Structure 1
Amino acid sequence: MKEFEVSPDISDPRLFEEVEGLDHEGQTFSIPVIVEKPLALYLNSREIVTMMTIGDYPEYLAIGYLLNQNMLSPSDQVTGVEYDEDLEVVIVRTENEADFEDKLKKKIQTSGCAQGTVFGDVMEKFEDVALDQAAVLKTSWIYELSRKINRQPSLYLKVGAIHGCVLCEGNTPLIYMEDVGRHNAIDKIAGYMWSKGISPKNKIFYTTGRLTSEMVIKTVQMEIPILISRSGFTAWGVELARQAGLTLIGRAKGKRFQCVSGIDRLEFDADPEAVMEEDRKHQRKGSQ
């Protein structure tokens, strides 16, 4: 795959709109803001969830959500994905229907923003995943990925109020997705990988959001051995990463980063003092 084979389309007028207001000096202004809209997801005839999303790549979002919730397995035969923009509905059809009534009864709310909902036992499948212990992360890749991703045209740089997730290999960003919730962005990538038959081998996951339990669980379920973020950690996120053997790196900004799990995969091949600090124009808020 080539660098940024998929990336945010900042020219898509459906993704943002202009709003007017007054600033601190009483002056009028007009700024672009991100648009969020509901998307009802059905698996066959059963309504699963309504998500708030920016509306791009709904088919990948639907598939990825079902995969990461263990409602769809990689071996299931998907016979079709239907999206109706006017009705704001996406339907995933499979060869055989499954009964998720018990999981729907055990729905819980997670720490993710904007409809971060997990069904059933969040640890289902997690403990059985064996991540690639031979995977390597060179520190030079961390610096290069941060620089390339932060300078790539994005909805964040255009309008803000959005999260980004990027699937990478080595020092190359491959698939860049954004959404109002980081879990939506990671689900879009999961759906894209499944649809295109992309292997998690030698892949790295980069996110602008917090390293919560939800982000760790989804990364592990996707069998990606390395997770990097510009933001910080939660205690349970760290605990789960260590349990799964996931390399977890946070606060990756400029020449700095912190690794709290999977340190054996790190190869220190770059001099931090030779790394330039970030241009303020491309800095993201660390609280995302």
Structure 2
Amino acid sequence: MTLKPLLPDPTDPRLSRPIEGVDENGQAKSVNVIEERPLTIYLNSQEIVTAMTIGDYPEYLALGFLLNQGMLRDSDTVTGIDFDEELEVAVVRTAQATNVEDKLEKKTRTSGCAVGTVFGDMMAGLENLTLPDTPVHTSTFYDLSYQINHTPSLYMETGAIHGTALCQGLEVLAYMEDVGRHNAVDKIAGWMHLNGVSSEDKVLYTTGRLTSEMVIKTSLMGIPTLISRSGFTAWGVDIARQVGLTLIGRMRGKKFTCLSGQHRLVYDQDLSQVPDDDKKMRRKGAQHE
């Protein structure tokens, strides 16, 4: 089954609204501002967490969060996901009861925007993880970067938001946005799980920093390559090297920096054919990273 690419819809009236103010000259000005609302996630009858989100794709976010926290295993059968818009609650239901109490006893606040939360041992599941050695051609990086940076999005309209895209070759399969990049990644994970999308030949592209949380989530999803226009944290690099994740940051114009997993790179791009960095995009990106 061929899936239609899932792309942002900046015209969705639920996700942003105009607010009146004044500019640097004291002149009236109207700007679109991103919405932010709570979503409480349940696993069966157990309340897990309340996340701040823009409110789109709550089912993907709830499922992806539980998967990336290790609260759902491959052996768990998801029987349904119920979302109540009025109560702002998403309930993920499984065929059999799950035991999440141990994870709820220990949680770590992460460096993600909008304050990400990781339950239990952050490194759980990474000890024996082996990522596929799928090669990645550097020529695809430049094409994907251009596609993503020029796709109509809430990021382009409002700022104050992060985007994450799941890519295969030169194709963007799913592009999610949220106030926290951890939410955007969780939405991707939920979308992949519900649609049976494999991970071994995929690339994850994010607009945000390459933190430990981003590296852990990407690795646990089984995606071997993570790319960003932004920079790295040292712990993120350490974890990427531990699990063999290809980690590429500072992807701007002709340039990028790879600090882990260089063995997957196939240098097939003629850099003389790559345009210089779009200064308008660079300024906008610097404002919102």
Shared fold by TM > 0.5? yes
Contact conserved, 2:253 with 2:278, CA < 8 A, in 1? no
Counterpart for residue 224 of structure 1? 223
Percent identity (aligned): 59
- Distance in 1 (CA, whole Å) between partners of 2:25 and 2:214 is 40
The structure-2 alpha-carbon separation of the partners of 1:165 and 1:137, relative to structure 1 and needing over 3 Å to count, comes to: same
Consecutive unaligned residues of structure 2, counting only runs of 5 or more, are none
Consecutive unaligned residues of structure 1, counting only runs of 5 or more, are none
Query: Which amino acid counterpart does residue 29 of structure 1 have in structure 2?
Result: K
- Distance in 2 (CA, whole Å) between partners of 1:41 and 1:188 is 13
The within-5 A match list for 1:28-47 is 28-47=28-47
Counterpart for residue 275 of structure 1? 274
The answer on 1:186 being equivalent to 2:181 is no
TM-score, normalised relative to structure 1: 0.96
The structure-2 alpha-carbon separation of the partners of 1:279 and 1:195, relative to structure 1 and needing over 3 Å to count, comes to: same
The C-alpha deviation readout for 1:8-63, integer Å capped at 9, x for no partner, is 11111000011111211111111111101000001111110000001100000000
Counterpart for residue 163 of structure 1? 162
- Distance in 2 (CA, whole Å) between partners of 1:60 and 1:256 is 33
Query: Which amino acid counterpart does residue 157 of structure 1 have in structure 2?
Result: M
- Distance in 1 (CA, whole Å) between partners of 2:124 and 2:244 is 17
Contact conserved, 1:4 with 1:173, CA < 8 A, in 2? no
The C-alpha deviation readout for 1:166-223, integer Å capped at 9, x for no partner, is 0001121111000000000000000000000000021111000100000000000000
Counterpart for residue 113 of structure 1? 113
- Distance in 2 (CA, whole Å) between partners of 1:120 and 1:71 is 10
Contact conserved, 2:64 with 2:187, CA < 8 A, in 1? yes
The C-alpha deviation readout for 1:231-260, integer Å capped at 9, x for no partner, is 000000000000000000000011110000
Counterpart for residue 152 of structure 1? 151
User: Number of residue pairs matched?
Assistant: 287
TM-score, normalised relative to structure 2: 0.96
1:285 match: secondary structure: helix
Query: Which amino acid counterpart does residue 148 of structure 1 have in structure 2?
Result: Q
Q: Which of 267-276 and 194-203 deviates more?
A: 267-276
- Distance in 2 (CA, whole Å) between partners of 1:67 and 1:222 is 9
Q: Name the Cα RMSD after superposition.
A: 1.4
- Distance in 2 (CA, whole Å) between partners of 1:145 and 1:75 is 34
2:73 match: secondary structure: coil
Runs of 4+ in 1 over 2 A off after TM superposition: 1-4, 278-284
